[in-house]
Amino acid sequence: MSFRKIDIDAYDEDVLLDDELCEPDPRDPAQVLSDAKQKQAAVRSTLARGDIPGALGIALDSTPYGSNVEEAKNLTLQTVVSILNSTKSSEINSVVKALSQDAQDTLMKYLYKGMGMPGWGDVSGSVLLGWHEKLTEVAGTGCIVRVMTDRRSV
């Protein structure tokens, strides 16, 4: 059974690393975190006005990606999940329809990331699945395919 503990990629010259799959976020990690905090504040004020599509648009605009910005990525996930949790299920269709195709794809990425983190923060599986259902109805299965083939992880 000890052979299963060997990292064969260490011996392969042609190994493909995650950092090589896509260009890293060109912004400085401190700047990315600062932007995420500013977006979180903007989302809170937009949600206080009751503008859920606007808040989701702010949160999904220029999201952080790459391996050196984990804190900003988690903060953005928290922001997106707070928007999803504060939306009534009857409003989801209209909110999703108001998003651009790129924003719909980014939202799908965050849904999958939230589903992959059970018990994290205030992530509710039923809320994420409800959003997934409505997003798939509006954006189609092409949205899922685009997310699965995009190499930039959120």
pLDDT at 37: 95
Are 83 and 99 within 8 A, CB to CB? no
pLDDT tens column, 16-73: 766 666 777 788 889 999 999 999 999 999 999 999 999 999 999 989 887 788 899 9
pLDDT at 61: 92
* Segment among 6-15, 122-131, 145-154 with least mean pLDDT: 6-15
Structure tokens at 98: 């108001």
Closest to 95 measured CA to CA, from 115, 113, 80:
80
CA–CA gap between residue 1 and residue 26 (Å, rounded): 43
* Torsion on CA atoms 45, 31, 124, 54, rounded to nearest 10: 40
Q: Could you give the residue ranges of the DSSP H alpha helices within the chain?
A: 18-21, 29-48, 52-60, 70-85, 92-97, 101-115, 125-139, 141-149
pLDDT at 42: 96
Structure tokens at 150: 């995009």
CA–CA gap between residue 30 and residue 84 (Å, rounded): 26
pLDDT tens column, 85-137: 999 999 999 999 999 999 999 999 999 999 888 666 666 788 999 999 999 99
pTM of the full structure:
0.83
Closest to 132 measured CA to CA, from 118, 115, 145:
115
pLDDT at 18: 65
